[in-house]
Amino acid sequence: MPESVLTSLTEEIYRLLPKGLVVNFELPKNQEAILAIPVFRLAKEEGIGLDEAAHKISNLLSGVKNVEFEVAGGFVNVRLTEELYNKALFEAGQSDFGQTEIGRSKTIVIDYSSPNIAKPMSVGHLRSTVIGDALKRLYLSQGYRVVGINFLGDWGTQFGKLLVAYKDKFGDFEPRAITLDELLELYVDFHSQAERNQSLEDEARRLFARLDSGDQEVKILWQHLVDISKKELSRIYTSLGILDFELMDGESNHLAQAESIIELAKARGISTESEGALIVDLPELGTPLLLKKKDGATLYASRDLAAIKERVGKYNPEKIIYVVANEQSLHFQQLFSVAGQLGLAPNTELIHAKFGLISLPEGKMSTRQGRVVFLEDVIEEVIEKAGKIVKDKNPEFSDGQIGKIAQKVGVGALKFYDLANNRLHDIVFNWEKMLALNGQAAPYLQYSYTRAESILSKAADFEPGSDLNLKPYRDQIKMLAKLPLVIGSALEKNSPHLLAQYLFGIAGEFHAFYEKYPVLKAEADRPERLLIVKAFANVLKNGLDLLGIEVSERM
């Protein structure tokens, strides 16, 4: 697929500029320009004035065809010719607009969602799941091979606690038909009792030691709970429209490899014993990484290191991206440092795409305290609320029509509410903002698409021809043409919110456009306006699809 006008233009500009010169392309304040190249850094590095630096860049780029350059203060503004405006508009209306093959032959591994088993997913799991899914879609759109891995928390002392509570309730370890809600009740009940009876913690450690040593009685029950959890997780992912994972992995699959990592750390001389445990001292971080407990059990750090080794060996990825909360920042700093010392990923970039927490208005959620909002309940409620909105606006729709549209609107609202926020920020759960029809919410964007499609469906077939007058609509074309650059920026920073914010701006611009410029009643400029409406609809659809949000022809 050919590169877009702006992608080709920015790449040509980079080729002509001196090597090592870093240029950030900014959105221009100049209404006639489509890009603005800041020259502040060049002026500072070479000790010259802004005007001289701007003219230097302008002269270097003088050979670029179909564009004009204007020096304005600390910027070089880039203007397109009429020919390129025409091309940019037609591109924006193509179904594959925004897609490239830049990642061909490269592999990206994304580790995301990764809940603990034997518990229902809470709304707190939403962020990792939808951010990871959006990143996967973005990388796929650029031609990368993407391996999505759901690294389940299926091992650790918490399962000893669950086994204690299970036996206390049922009297044995016989596998039974049991729901994740019931398992959560057992988990919460254990902590409630353990506060009064500390011996339960010791019993939990003993039972986990039995599991860790391969005791068949407890291992069969553990596997039964894992299978129940995977089935329930798959159902939730389907309801959210999450792409299939290439690998549903678990910490338990890396126990043997974790032991080999520990032996490698010993052989490299980077580990030391501390009070019977094995650690890697990391003075630059102020906290050592614990590889093995004094009782001989491995930890999730050593299992994470084993997973890195396996992923690099199996996939040879350019990057491994971990979509995990801010709270784990230290763990990943430690993990990446030790992985580097062990030479586990010499040609792979390890990235922690961290994110803030999502919380209830009254504060942080905690499974241990039992104060948690289940993700499944949230999905059901947001679809129900969306259904009421759809029915109120379209009383003539059948229940079946309302149900299909409510699914798209409700799930889209839930996902966009998360993705529209910078992933680094904490967010507070809010129904009203999530489902707003006239605010920064998915229903507003979905309605914008539906409105554009409605206009197009009412227009007779038309052939725009080559003699188009696009000058009055350059602002709209410039905005539409930037989709590929926004996708590139979102991938560079692993931040889907950049795309979400851009789409919100596109929706607002579309509404302003058709209010200012009548389309169906237009005469002289009707073909041009229909082309612009088509481009708006296409950019909204393509962009929302990259965020995992469906659109609807009717709403």
Average of pLDDT values for 71-95?
91
pLDDT at 368: 47
207-241 pLDDT tens trace = 998 998 899 999 999 999 999 999 999 999 999 99
pLDDT at 122: 86
pLDDT at 28: 72
Lowest pLDDT segment from 24-28, 152-156, 478-482: 24-28
103-132 pLDDT tens trace = 999 999 999 999 999 989 988 899 999 999
Distance CA 441, CA 231 (A): 31
Q: Of 105, 103, 124, 104, give the one whose Cα is nearest residue 115.
A: 124
326 CB-near residues (< 8 Å, 6+ apart): 354, 355, 356, 357, 424
Contact, 126 vs 163, CB < 8 A? no
Tell me the three state secondary structure of residue 248: strand
Distance CA 173, CA 8 (A): 64
387-546 maps to CATH 1.10.730.10: yes
Provide, rounded to the nearest whole percent, the portion of the chain with pLDDT above 70.
Answer: 94
CATH number for the domain whose boundaries are 5-80: 3.30.1360.70
H-helix segments, 326-434: 329-342, 375-393, 399-419, 431-434
348-369 pLDDT tens trace = 999 999 999 887 676 554 544 5
pLDDT at 370: 52
What's the mean pLDDT when you consider all of the chain?
91
Q: What is the CA 66 to chain-centroid distance, rounded?
A: 36
Contact, 95 vs 537, CB < 8 A? no
Inter-axis angle of helices 442-458 and 497-516, nearest 10 = 40
Six-digit token string for 183: 């398992």
Q: State the virtual CA torsion across 274, 277, 278, 280 in degrees, nearest 10.
A: -50
267-279 pLDDT tens trace = 999 999 998 899 9
More confidently predicted of 243 and 524: 243
Q: Where residue 291 falls among pLDDT bands split at 50, 70, 90?
A: very high
413-467 pLDDT tens trace = 999 999 999 999 998 877 788 887 777 899 999 999 999 999 999 987 666 666 7
Domain-by-domain residue ranges, the chain?
A: 5-80, 112-359, 387-546
112-359 maps to CATH 3.40.50.150: no
Average of pLDDT values for 191-216?
91
pTM of the model: 0.92
Beta pairing class for 277-280 and 271-274? antiparallel
Tell me the DSSP string of 399-418: HHHHHHHHHHHHHHHHHHHH
Average of pLDDT values for 187-207?
91
